[in-house]
Structure 1
Amino acid sequence: MIDVIDVPQYTYLEVKQDSRSRWIAGPSVEVRKGDIVRFDGGVEMKDFHSKTLDRTFPSIVFVNRVLVGEK
């Protein structure tokens, strides 16, 4: 996991899969940079604007759960 942003009820995570990074969002979870995470497939949204963060993600996947593993 590369980056994490916590907001009420959600955790936004920038994760690295193979050689590319992508953003996912799921229910709040305690996670730190560098942790290994697993998640389900989810639903991709393009050009998603988060009002809470005042930020637009070109692509983000909303998942039902995020599991945190060992480094």
Structure 2
Amino acid sequence: MTQLTLSQDILTGITNLGNQLNLSVNELLEQISQGNLTVINTEELEDLLDVRDAIIAETDPDNQERISWEDVKQDLGL
């Protein structure tokens, strides 16, 4: 077994994250190392969710009416 030294702040953060997922620190790190959990940058996640929402909106039958770019510019006062 290899020892790892963490600051108290980092250990607290990892412990809190594990608690949110109902996992011990060891289980949390094991799940990450096995590829069962992924760490993702929150900005990247927001971008992915925005793309998902746009796809959902485009496929909604109620959103099939197309608006010309000229109408959009006029509505914006451009």
Bin the TM-score by the shorter chain.
Answer: under 0.3
Q: Which structure's residues are more often helix, by fraction? A: 2
Which structure: larger Rg?
2
> So what's the TM-score if we normalise by structure 1?
0.22
TM-score (norm 2): 0.21
